[in-house]
Amino acid sequence: MKTKLLLPNYLKRIGWVILIPSTLLGLFILIFDYDFGFLESRVFTLYSGTLKEPHFFAIIKANLTGTIVGILFLIGAILVAFSKEKREDEFIAGIRLESLLWATYINYGVLIFCFIFFYEFEFLYVMIFNMFTILIFFIIRFYYMLYRANKSLSHEK
């Protein structure tokens, strides 16, 4: 099967090497509310401030810990999620599509739940996590379904 938009298989290994440490580091940063001091920097921003005192196209002082870890997580997750399998066929493409659909449904179900039960500043955290959850749900579902398919094939032999 021709897959035009999937990444080469070797990028999956690189993705796991990036994804696992960035996930662990991200959890550490969240749990302990930690920032690396050496990542404090002056950065360009399109918008900063409050609605009453907005700053557009400004240079601000910010810590880049969360930014770097978030970018690394997304790059790793995209490489893992969208790299070809060694044997990419119609069956795997079907699992991939079904997993993406399933992840989308679950992601928006969780988002609806959060709209109902989280308010004010806590909802901002929900929206931040929501950026990552669709990839997480997809990866979990896709590799679980591949595991089940491989397990059932091995029992048939």
pTM listed for this prediction: 0.86
Alpha carbon distance 70, 32 (integer Å):
16
The β-bridge partners of 49 are 54
| Contacts (Cβ under 8 Å, ≥6 apart) of 151 | none
pLDDT computed for residue 52 by the predictor? 83
> Tens-digit pLDDT profile for the chain (157 aa)?
566 789 999 999 999 999 999 999 999 998 998 999 999 999 999 988 878 888 889 898 999 999 999 999 999 999 999 999 998 889 999 999 999 999 999 999 999 999 999 888 888 888 888 889 999 999 999 999 999 998 887 766 5
